[in-house]
Structure 1
Amino acid sequence: MALEFAVEVFQNEFLPEGAAEVNAILTVSATGDAGGGAAEPDADAAQVIIVDTSGSMRYPPAKLAAAKRATEAAIDALRDGVKFAVIAGTERAEMVYPALRLLSDASPQARVVAKRAVAKLQADGGTAMGQWLLLAQEVFRGHDSGPRHAILLTDGQNQHETPEQLTAVLDRVAGAFTGDCRGVGTDWQVAELRRISEALLGTVDIVAEPEGLAEDFRAMTATAMGKAVADVSLRLWTPEGAEVKFLKQASPGLLDLTDRRVEAAPRTGDYPTGAWSGAESRDYHLCVRVKPANVGERMLAGRVSLVGPGGDVLGQGRVLAVWTDDTALSTRMSPEVAHYTGQAELAEAIQEGLEARKSGDVETATARLGRAVRLAHESGNTGTAKLLAKVVEVQDPATGTVKLRARVADVDEMTLDTRSTVTKRVGKDR
């Protein structure tokens, strides 16, 4: 069954005289087809599992053993007929299953053979994640008809590539497949894995204890296997003289899509959103600069279309601008825009505060993390508030009055950092 998409636009279209900036929240929702049935997952889905087998995975021994169990759990979660592969990553990337650089069809026999190959994995060597991603891209090549998803697991830092080399790889693989990244333990870098996950339109998270890997891998695979439509784009048309200041995914997590624009027609660009399943909804924050008009004039500041992999328009919405001298109208802020502006500021405050804390700048760290506490309190983001409380002593959440904790576990700091971009949805779920 096909998915049905809807695009809703939330904004205050009224601008004061001379104003040029138009903000809107675009809510894109996917449901089952018009007959009311649930959308069936795409039978042509493909999954690649990338396991770090560098030397650091030997210590403690439970780490590699847990990674093997997690990979086996992901293999078991694959539906029959889904194409898959397993890659081992060190300073090189090598096929674990199948032996050739291809995808294999999931079947009871294939799962047994793949899990036998995974059981033989040993840890040795360095870390070059770009090489892992390039092999995944090669394995996915030729599979263009359905969702393509990768899981990348590591426990360390990208020591055998420069940041510039990794950037070049990310530019090459962006759009070829989507992917989620997981760091096990506390010796990896959040910023590094976040760069990779953002390029792959995926998520990054910490799995503090190796024992938690299997369930996490199983859940990620099940989610990926539930996707029904791949390669969906937001197509944005803007009037002559307008400039797209930014387009960002605002929920379920923050993801800047501004630089991912691909020109589709004059004054029209496509922004990737990845694969979708039924009963899924995401919010995007659009900011457009337009030429100011006279009081009383009305403008179509943007036309948003959701476009499928075949070019079909799946849904549309309009972003408007109306200039007024009525301050009661022009000063009214859209609750949706206000909420997600605050969520973006919350993530920024957390990341800046943690960076200042690492560098020993107590004053800046206290101020920025205090601001984060206040924003989390105001928006009702209780999940983030609980994570912040492990890094600072909260004296007054309403004012953001905090004191840095003298001792903070690495896992608590990294968990706060990795989940800083997970947003609370405005008004819960619409």
Structure 2
Amino acid sequence: MVAENGRARFEAEVDQNEFLPAGGRTVDAILTVTATGGTTTGGTTAGGRIAQIIIVDVSGSMAAPATKLAEAKKATATAVDTMPDGTPFAVIAGNGTAAMVYPRERGTVVADARTRAEARAAVHQLWANGGTAIGRWLDLANAVFAGTRAEIKHAILLTDGENQHESREQLERVLAACDGKFICDARGVGHGWVAEELRLISSALLGTADGLESPSELAASFTAMTRAAQGKSTADVALRLWTPANSVVRSVKQVFPRVEDLTGRRTEVSARIGEYPTGAWGAESRDYHITVDVEPDAVGEEILAGRVSLVAGGQVLTERLILAKWTDDTARSTRINRRVAHYTGQAELATAIQEGLRARDAGDEETATAKLGRAVRLATESGHTDTAKLLARVVDVEDARTGTVRLKRRAADENVEIINVRSTKTVRVQRQRED
């Protein structure tokens, strides 16, 4: 199905074992959604449908070492130069407060040769001082975005430190106010940033979170995020799920390219229909794991356990059915769909890493060793080689197949946070026709 006004073409496929044993209730399905085509031009200017804001941490710690702020300035200038003519953009500096860098007044300017040069000059004047209050940075970005009519609004947020100068509750209130207003990709650099804070931000604002090994990676990272945002062509896409009477939606999770639990973000459309936000889409593919409990029926009966679609602007972009059939054939009802099994393991991997690192920070070496050992085993079994390599930075692996590990006595702080923030990234198992 093709949407109008330059939107992408959306196609979906469902993988599941629809057979349930007599009395069985739980239906699992993997929905693969692929968007292709689409354009990012529109309005009177080439970039006018997409607005971008870059938020740069200028707290005092960015001066230690000085290369952090220098590389952040370079990365910001590079990102500005990457934006097509006509893109509304702004740059914000954040420490214990938030301030406009360019333009000086609250708002955006349209990218062209003059405004890019002025932005580079303004960014060059930045210097580091003060603390860190990320909620204030996002609050200002939200106010700036409110002044633009762009269809897709994207922010890049860079920090090198913990959000020390406001409470978790203050940050969560700001995130709630920003929910649905713009997308935010959050990045950490240096030694002091906190993975859980970046994941909190990216999860609430439907972006991505990651950490950088070195400040020298900032320019390439900013460029990639800017270009990825320019590739978005369909805004505010929601996953809509219809389920039958007396059923219960247990969970709706994105499971590729990263694990993101959407269950608690349901918006009721009616008693039997709910929508879950997925953000903006370009040419890309994502997988979702949907679990529904249905009322059991007689052996031999078949029901529609769910109708799932992607919608944007009131238009259905694609739609697929989730089925349930009751059987007394044990071979059929006990077969586990390999994609369901794979992504269940990926979610367990993310949880094991996060719980293991949390226990390590708390000084609980026994729990940390057990959880991180399980993570090593799951990463090895699922072919998650990048995660396995990262885990080897915090544990000595004696036997990856059994998850036998020993905690390293010394592990760089940034290694721990990078492993943590990347714990939700997944690898895909290819679809294949079930027998």
Give TM-score scaled by structure 1 length.
0.95
Contact 1:391 1:413 in 2 (8 A): yes
Is 1:312 matched with 2:315? yes
Residues 153-205 of structure 1 deviation map (CA, whole Å, 9 limit, x = unaligned) = 01111111111111111111111111110111011111111101111111111
Cα 1:142–1:243, aligned 2, differ >3 Å: closer, same or farther? farther
1:7 aligns with one of 8, 12, 18: 12
Partner of 1:22: 27
Partner of 2:367: 364
1:163 aligns with one of 165, 168, 171: 168
Partner of 1:185: 190
Alignment of 1:212-361 (within 5 A): 212-278=217-283, 280-308=284-312, 310-361=313-364
Distance 2:169 2:254 in 1: 26
Partner of 2:376: 373
Residues 39-85 of structure 1 deviation map (CA, whole Å, 9 limit, x = unaligned) = 44564111010011112212222211111111101101101001111
* Partner amino acid, structure 1, of 2:382: S
1:62 aligns with one of 67, 77, 99: 67
Partner of 1:408: 411
* Partner amino acid, structure 2, of 1:303: R
* Partner amino acid, structure 2, of 1:407: R
Residues 289-326 of structure 1 deviation map (CA, whole Å, 9 limit, x = unaligned) = 22222222211111111101x21111001111111111
2:83 aligns with one of 59, 73, 78: 78
Cα 1:413–1:64, aligned 2, differ >3 Å: closer, same or farther? same
Partner of 1:114: 119
Distance 2:54 2:431 in 1: 33
The count of corresponding residues between Structure 1 and Structure 2 is 423
Partner of 1:36: none
Distance 1:389 1:69 in 2: 32
Partner of 1:131: 136
User: Residue 421 of structure 1: SS of its match in structure 2?
Assistant: coil
2:146 aligns with one of 141, 154, 157: 141
What displacement does 1:100 show? 1.9
2:387 aligns with one of 384, 393, 404: 384
Distance 1:58 1:13 in 2: 58
* Partner amino acid, structure 2, of 1:348: T
Cα 1:129–1:40, aligned 2, differ >3 Å: closer, same or farther? closer
Partner of 2:3: none
Give TM-score scaled by structure 2 length.
0.94
Matched residues, percent identical? 57
Alignment of 1:189-200 (within 5 A): 189-200=194-205
Residues 211-236 of structure 1 deviation map (CA, whole Å, 9 limit, x = unaligned) = 11111111111111111111111111
What runs of 5+ residues in structure 1 fail to find an aligned partner? 34-38
Contact 2:369 2:406 in 1 (8 A): yes
Partner of 1:53: 58
